Amino acid sequence: MKSAEKPDAAEGLWDAKDVAAFVKASRSWVYQQAEAGVLPCLRVCGLLRFEPGAVRAFVRGDHLPGASVIPIARAGHGQ
């Protein structure tokens, strides 16, 4: 994603940089909110990823309190 572009839902999952650009916040804020369970995210092999629709719902205030970090294990690694 180029720095001047906004993230697009067609891109698939967003990373913290995409979310930060969308909400006009720092990446550290995104990580803090995700780790605190406020901003819904997925953990893919140790990386945080975000569903664009969930981020948009969060911004609109349509998120559920106590959002969670959902771990997604790599195939063949016991989970």
Three-state SS across the chain? CCCCCCCCHHHCCECHHHHHHHHCCCHHHHHHHHHCCCCCEEEECCEEEECHHHHHHHHHCCCCCCCCEEEECCCCCCC
In a domain? residue 30:
yes
As for how many domains the chain has, the answer is 1
The reported pTM is 0.68
**pLDDT tens digits, 20-54:** 999 999 999 999 999 998 999 999 998 999 999 99
Residues in the chain: 79
In a domain? residue 78:
no
In a domain? residue 3:
no
* Per-residue pLDDT, 43: 93
Percent of the chain with pLDDT over 70: 65
The pLDDT mean for the chain works out to 79
Query: What range defines the domain where residue 45 resides?
Result: 11-72
Residue 79 pLDDT exceeds 80 = no
In a domain? residue 79:
no
> Token pair 């803090």 is at which residue?
32
